[in-house]
């Protein structure tokens, strides 16, 4: 199953014009909202911490193996235009085909909910460290302008909707069906013989990740067309719902 490095902003000095807190505060709220969608869709993640910096986040990510580096930020207008800019920009590295594809999918999904869809764009860059220095394909998405009242209010009032659209983009990127979050349910494998296959995709053709013995405890985070998204002893994947008792 895919694994992402999730890097909400650590810039506590960028204040929202509405007084709701900082860029760091609000992007961590967005990351909080995104995590149930990641779990329900079988996307594993490692998340940075507020006390970290962009540099230490990059270094931590580069010590591991990730399928995508996703940085969540909000933007600030340049000097002389404070409060006058609006929009969303998904940045990617110019030569990263996968980074560009992820950025385009994110922009495509956010256009569906942002009030000014023509201002949701993608842009290549070599100057943003979280894009340029990441070993994994990377996207840094600037979600609105925190110095613009309308944008700041929109971000604050649409955390779940933004998280859902980000998750829809990620599932499309990884070739997975989108699954709405559910309250986690504890279950147990119930097979009369052999083991239950945990797969990378909800179909009999999905690659087998692990074999779950009868009676194995699992946590169910999502359900899709007769398949559960389950976690078991560090493994995450899809298992046939008919063979799990809840």
Residue 52 has what pLDDT? Answer: 97
Provide the token pair at 207: 């690659």
Q: Where are the beta strands (DSSP E) in 63-137?
A: 68-75, 88-92, 120-124
Per-residue model confidence as pLDDT tens digits over 91-150: 999 999 999 999 999 999 999 999 999 999 999 999 999 999 999 999 999 999 999 999
Nearest to 86 by CA among 109, 127, 115, 122: 115
- d(Cα 18, Cα 30) in Å, to the nearest integer? 17
Q: Does domain 3-174 have CATH number 3.90.420.10?
A: no
- d(Cα 175, Cα 87) in Å, to the nearest integer? 28
Write the Ramachandran bin of 112: left for phi over 0, alpha for psi from -120 to 50, otherwise beta.
Answer: alpha
Share of the chain above pLDDT 90, in %: 98
Per-residue model confidence as pLDDT tens digits over 184-218: 999 999 999 999 999 999 999 999 999 999 999 99
Q: Where are the beta strands (DSSP E) in the chain?
A: 3-8, 44-47, 68-75, 88-92, 120-124, 138-145, 185-189, 195-199, 208-213, 217-224, 227-232, 235-240, 244-245
Provide the token pair at 142: 């600037």
- d(Cα 60, Cα 56) in Å, to the nearest integer? 6
Grouping H, G, I as helix, E, B as strand and the rest as coil, residue 159 is: helix
Per-residue model confidence as pLDDT tens digits over 4-30: 999 999 999 999 999 999 999 999 999
Assess whether pLDDT exceeds 90 at residue 61: yes
Q: Where in the chain is the domain with CATH 3.40.630.40?
A: 3-174
- d(Cα 227, Cα 77) in Å, to the nearest integer? 46
Contact, 133 vs 91, CB < 8 A? no
Residue 141 has what pLDDT? Answer: 98
- d(Cα 91, Cα 127) in Å, to the nearest integer? 10
Superfamily name with CATH number, domain 185-245 = SH3 Domains (2.30.30.40)
Residue 108 has what pLDDT? Answer: 98
CA distance readout (Å), 82 to 2, 115, 144, 192: 39, 20, 13, 66
Q: Where in the chain is the domain with CATH 2.30.30.40?
A: 185-245
Nearest to 146 by CA among 156, 137, 138: 156
Assess whether pLDDT exceeds 90 at residue 234: no
Share of the chain above pLDDT 70, in %: 100
Q: Where are the beta strands (DSSP E) in 44-107?
A: 44-47, 68-75, 88-92
pTM: 0.95
CA 42 remoteness from chain centre: 11
């Amino acid at each position: 199953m895919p694994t992402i490095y999730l890097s909400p902003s650590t810039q506590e000095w960028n204040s929202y014009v509405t007084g709701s807190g900082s860029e760091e505060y609000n992007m961590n709220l967005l990351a909080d909202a995104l995590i149930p969608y990641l779990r329900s869709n079988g996307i594993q993640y490692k998340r940075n911490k507020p006390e970290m910096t962009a540099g230490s986040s990059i270094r931590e990510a580069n010590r591991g193996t990730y399928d995508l580096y996703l940085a969540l930020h909000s933007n600030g207008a340049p000097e002389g235009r404070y409060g006058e800019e609006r929009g969303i920009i998904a940045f990617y590295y110019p030569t990263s085909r996968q980074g560009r594809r992820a950025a385009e999918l994110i922009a495509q999904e956010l256009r569906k909910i942002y009030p000014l869809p023509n201002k949701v764009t993608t842009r290549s860059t070599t100057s943003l460290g979280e894009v340029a220095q990441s070993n994994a394909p990377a996207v840094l998405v600037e979600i609105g302008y925190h110095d613009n009242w309308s944008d700041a209010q929109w971000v604050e009032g649409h955390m779940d909707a933004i998280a859902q659209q980000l998750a829809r983009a990620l599932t499309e990127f990884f070739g997975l069906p989108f699954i709405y979050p559910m309250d986690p349910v504890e279950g147990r494998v119930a097979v009369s013989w052999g083991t239950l296959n945990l797969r990378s995709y909800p179909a009999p053709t999905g690659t087998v990740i692990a074999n779950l013995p009868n009676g194995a405890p699992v946590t169910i985070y999502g359900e899709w067309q007769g398949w559960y998204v389950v976690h078991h002893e560090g493994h995450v994947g899809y298992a046939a719902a008919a063979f799990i008792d809840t």
